[in-house]
Structures are given as structure tokens and as C-alpha cells.
Structure 1
Amino acid sequence: MKSVVIFLIVLITSALQFFSNNDDYTQTTPLEESIKRGSEIYQDFCVSCHLPTGEGIRKTYPPLAKSDYLINNRTASIKGIKYGQQGEIVVNGQKYNGFMAPMGLADDEVADVMNYISNSWGNKNDNMVTEAEVSKIEK
């Protein structure tokens, strides 16, 4: 019995040392996790129009990079991702009057992609978009 207790103490001590000294072990915040998931969603649904750099295509697809519209119009930006976008908007002083089809994303996916784009390419937003916030936005 005494040897079993000693074995368990050694095992637990080893495990604690491993996790406290292991450079591969990192702790992430919920925002960082959301941004990572949002990056994958962006690659699947958004990159063909807004490009890998988030710069869009001038006069056709608005930029997400350093986008005043994205940062200053949070609800409208979420609504555009959730339901699609139609009609004139002004982004960084340039008018866009196009159509973005709804992507069919779930509320958690909309939140993740919104967190990704609002924290990429010169954008910074520590105020995390949540699934609950997205669910309250109506068409």
C-alpha cells in the first residue's frame, strides 16, 4: 500500500512539472479561440470576395481590412454576415452598392467570423461578439 501511495505522488508531481514547464502548453482566452475558429470560417466562406488580405476588390467588394464601417457599425456588420447585405454602404470613404448572399452560418459561426475580421488586418476589437448577441439581431 505504501508503494502505491509513493507511486501516485511521483506520478502527480511529474504531471504537474510537465504542464508547468511544457512550452507547448498554452492557455487561450475565449476571444482567441473564437478568432481561430473564425479564421477557418473566413477561409471557407469569405476569402473569395474579400481576399486573404481582407482588402476586398475596389468598387465591388468592400474591404474588411482597416474598415471604418466594420468597427463603427457593429450591429449592421453582424446583420450583413447573418442575413446577407444589399444596398449602398460607405466603407473608408468609398461607396459600395452590391449584394452579398446570406452564407447560412449559425449564430456561433457568425460571432466567430465577426471576431476574426474585427481583429485582423489592422482592425482591433476587444469587445467580443457572442452567439447570444448575434441571436438577438433580427432581419
Structure 2
Amino acid sequence: MRIKSKLIAPAAGMAALLTLTQCFTDRQNEGERLYTQYCANCHMDDGSGLRNLIPPLAGADYLVNHRDELACIIQHGQTGNIVVNGKNYNQGMPAFEHLNKGQITNILNYVQTNFGNSNERFTIPEVEKYLDKCRHLPEQ
């Protein structure tokens, strides 16, 4: 009996560890995949933007200065002039209202930590808080 119990605990631990690591590996590149699917056509694969039309994400001061707006911009799009790294951009961005808070968080974290950026990562509760705020803003 003792031999069985000595083998069960490590076996259960290994099974739990394998299950846990599989949860993370399935989604470890989700931010990059979602960025490629929804963002790269305009912001380019390297985050450099498109000349004078689409702002860069690489080294963009906007990511830090407007952190609380980024989730809403992804979900609801953006129109009007914005200034990124001292340069004006006035090309609209489409809304991706079908993306959930986890997907938006993954996109934001991919952008925040790639293209030469080393910005603070987002949490899902933080993104949820920002999305809740922009749902309650009056229409402009």
C-alpha cells in the first residue's frame, strides 16, 4: 500500500503539470496571431505603420501616453486626428467589436512587448475596466 501512495502523488503532480503547461502553450502566441490577423495589414508586420497614413506601433509614444484608451480603440475603432511621435495621422481605424477582452489583452500585450517596445503589460481586469469605461462614454 505504501509503495502505491508514494507513486500516486508524483504521478498526479506530473499529470497536473502537463495539463497546466498545455493550457499555456496553446495560447502562448495568440497575441501575435491576432495581431497578424487584424492589425498587420495596416500597421505592418514590424509595427512600422504605413508611411504618412497609418501610425507606427514600433516605438510609439501613443502606447504609453494613451494607455487607458487602447482597448477601446481596438474594440470600437477610431476616427479623427491623432499624434504619434510628434506626427499627425488622420486615417480611421476599423472597430473589432467581436474580439473579447482576453483577445484584446493578448493583442495589446503583443504590441506592448514587441517592435522594440518594452511597455508595461496589460491584465484582463485592467482591459475590462477600460472597456467598461468606454461603453459609458457619450457618443460624439
Give the shorter-chain TM-score range. Answer: 0.7 to 0.9
Higher relative contact order (CA 8 A, sep 6+): 1
Q: State the alpha-carbon separation in 1 of the partners of residues 31 and 14 from structure 2.
A: 33
| Distance in 2 of aligned mates of 1:101 and 1:59 | 18
The CA distance in 1 between the partners of 2:115 and 2:55, in whole Å, is 14
SS in 2 for 1:75: helix
Residue in structure 1 matched with residue 109 of structure 2 by the alignment: 115
TM alignment of 1:127-138, pairs within 5 A = 127-130=121-124, 131-138=127-134
Cα root mean square deviation, aligned: 3.0
- Which structure's CA Rg is the greater one? 1
* Residue 91 (structure 1) aligned with residue 90 (structure 2): no
- TM-score for the superposition, normalised by structure 2: 0.73
TM-score for both structures, normalised by structure 1: 0.74
Letter in 1 for 2:3: I
Please say which of residues 109-118 and 56-65 is displaced more in the overlay. 109-118
Residues 10 and 41 of structure 1: CA distance in aligned 2, closer, same or farther (over 3 Å): same
Shift of 1:34: 8.0
Identity in percent: 29
Counterpart of 1:67? 60
Q: Which segment is superposed worse, 87-96 or 125-134?
A: 125-134
* Residue type of the alignment partner of 2:7: V
Return 5+ residue gaps in structure 2 as ranges: none
> Which structure has greater strand proportion?
1
